[in-house]
Structure 1
Amino acid sequence: MARQTLPLNDTLYDYLLTVSLREPEVLRLLRAETARHPRAEMQIAPEQGQFMALLARLIGARRALEIGVFTGYSALWVALALPPDGQLIACEVNEAYTAVARRYWEAAGVADRIALRLGPALKTLEALLAEGAAGTFDLVFIDADKETYDAYYERALELVRPGGLILLDNLLMGGRVADPSNREPSVEAIRRLNEKLCRDLRVDYALLPLADGLGLARRR
């Protein structure tokens, strides 16, 4: 039995996907199109999307929030996991990215579940709080500019209900967070946030070595 997480080489990773991935065709097509995008590295892994959808179903999520949409792959996984009357509010600043997302949301038949808010995400979150949305979300996914993660997290804590989940992507930053000599602003921001999350008693917390590191914070 392994005492630490098993490293994945390409052969083992392909096997993992073969025996576990249940990716609807519309998601497979979106992932394939995104793979040709100049910023394809911003795409989450398919097994992560499937895991997020499972989490949404496990907690009975009806109202979700995504900060950072890109081409809409993660949003589509979550939207498909919501009930027909569920809603995902998706925050993004780049209209060109979301033009791709909209096509696939329509093709999947869930465009009516996704409310896209174009503009700086912090302003959107502040507007939601001003509208009285505190404590009304079941699930929040943060996958945007790393230097603002802490601010997103604090707003998410206000917006999510007790027992709700906040998911934070890229917390391992390709391994760069473990290199103390790396002083990139984005890396330092995530390094500080990782230390904060570990000791934040407002939440139950785990950091999984899934894809580029996925943090799970359950609001107490």
Structure 2
Amino acid sequence: MTSKPLPLTPELHAYLVAHGSSPDGTVRDLYEETIAALPDQAVMQVAPEQAAFLTFLVRLLGVRQAVEVGTFTGLSSLAIARGLPEDGRLTCFDISEEYTGIARRYWEQAGVADRIELRIGPAGDTLRELPLERHLDFAFIDADKTGYPVYWDELVPRMRPGGVIAVDNTLRGGRVLAPRDADDRAIAAFNDEVLADVRVETVMLPIADGVTLARVR
């Protein structure tokens, strides 16, 4: 059973954003620089309200050990790091020195660079360098969509019981209902895989392009 969904019009979305915590100058500067410097790639950046949600969630969960797969110019990693305690640690996995060079500048500006370790290389390989024990409190997946099942399979066994994995772009602009390309098909299949995974309990939220939260049993 379900209730009638609420249509999120542009006006209602603006209201929603206006009634949450406002992004500070660092977030605004990073968001705007990414759009100006990388207009064709800026769609890969999380929305400011999504960044605020990540910070809130990480603080709420009391996260100390976190992982991010897909860093781009650093808005999501900045948000996660800000939610960590001073001795918390975030390990970021990405393949681009160029994009993450922007991220490094903003980590320094925000005073969280000492909480973040960046590892460059294909995440399917570099994730395997993490300890095999269940030690992670939080993970955020926002990289190449066809790679999601690989990242999922590497992360779930490394999450502590009660740890949370957040996965971005799980609605694909609504195209999971009628996939148009390989990425759409990959996400639709991944969503079904996660739903059937008995190791986790999940909820899908209509934030930005869809965020799935999975709590590891």
Residue in structure 1 matching 2:81, options 79, 82, 103? 79
Q: Which moved more, 1:27-36 or 1:70-79?
A: 27-36
Q: 2: CA distance between counterparts of 1:201 and 1:51? A: 26
Structure 2: stretches of 5+ with no match in the other structure: none
Cα drift, residue 189 of structure 1: 1.1
Give the alignment's Cα RMSD to 1 decimal: 1.4
SS of the equivalent of 1:135 reads coil
Specify the code of the residue in structure 1 equivalent to 2:96. Answer: N
Aligned match of 1:211: 208
Tell me the CA shift for residue 26 of structure 1: 0.9
* Aligned counterpart, 1:165: 164
Q: TM-score, normalised by structure 1?
A: 0.93
Q: Distance in 1 between matches of 2:138 and 2:7?
A: 29
Tell me, which stretches of 5 or more residues in structure 1 are unaligned? none
Task: Please report how far the alpha carbon of residue 133 of structure 1 lies from its aligned counterpart in structure 2 after TM superposition.
Answer: 4.4
Tell me the CA shift for residue 59 of structure 1.
1.2
d(CA) in 2 for partners of 1:47, 1:157? 26
CA distance in structure 1 between the partners assigned to 2:16 and 2:189 by the alignment = 32
User: Which residue of 1 is the match for residue 4 of structure 2?
Assistant: 4
Say whether residues 1:57 and 2:56 are aligned partners: no
| Secondary structure of residue in 2 paired with 1:20 | coil
Give the secondary structure class of the aligned counterpart of 1:166: strand
Equivalents in 1 of 2:89, 2:168: separation in Å? 21
Letter of the 1:175 partner, please give it: G
Q: Which residue of 1 aligns with 2:126?
A: 124
Partner of 2:151: 152
Taking the aligned partners of 1:24 and 1:42, their CA distance within structure 2 comes to 20
Report the AA paired with residue 35 of structure 1: I
* 2-structure distance, mates of 1:42, 1:81: 21
C-alpha distance in 1, partners of 2:76/2:6?
25
CA deviations over 1:58-92 (Å, ceiling 9, x no partner): 11101100000000000000100100011100001
Which of 190, 195, 199 is 1:198 aligned to? Answer: 195
1:30 and 2:27 equivalent? no
**Aligned equivalents of 1:133, 1:101: Cα separation in 2:** 28
- Code of the aligned partner of 1:70: F
For 1:141 and 1:193, the matched residues in 2 are separated by: 15
Give the letter aligned to residue 185 of structure 1. A
Report which stretch shifted further, 28-37 or 59-68.
28-37
Q: Is the Cα contact below 8 Å between 1:71 and 1:98 reproduced in 2?
A: yes
Distance 1:134 1:160 in 2: 8
How far the C-alpha of 1:7 sits from its partner, in A, is 2.1
How many Å apart are 1:24 and its aligned residue? 2.4
How many Å apart are 1:55 and its aligned residue?
Answer: 1.3
CA contact (8 A) 1:21 1:46 kept: no
Q: Does 1:43 align with 2:41?
A: no
Who is 2:183 aligned against?
Answer: 186
Per mean C-alpha deviation after superposition, the further-off stretch among 150-159 and 66-75 is: 150-159
Task: Return the letter of the residue paired with 2:34.
Answer: T
The answer to whether the 8 Å contact 1:136/1:159 transfers is yes
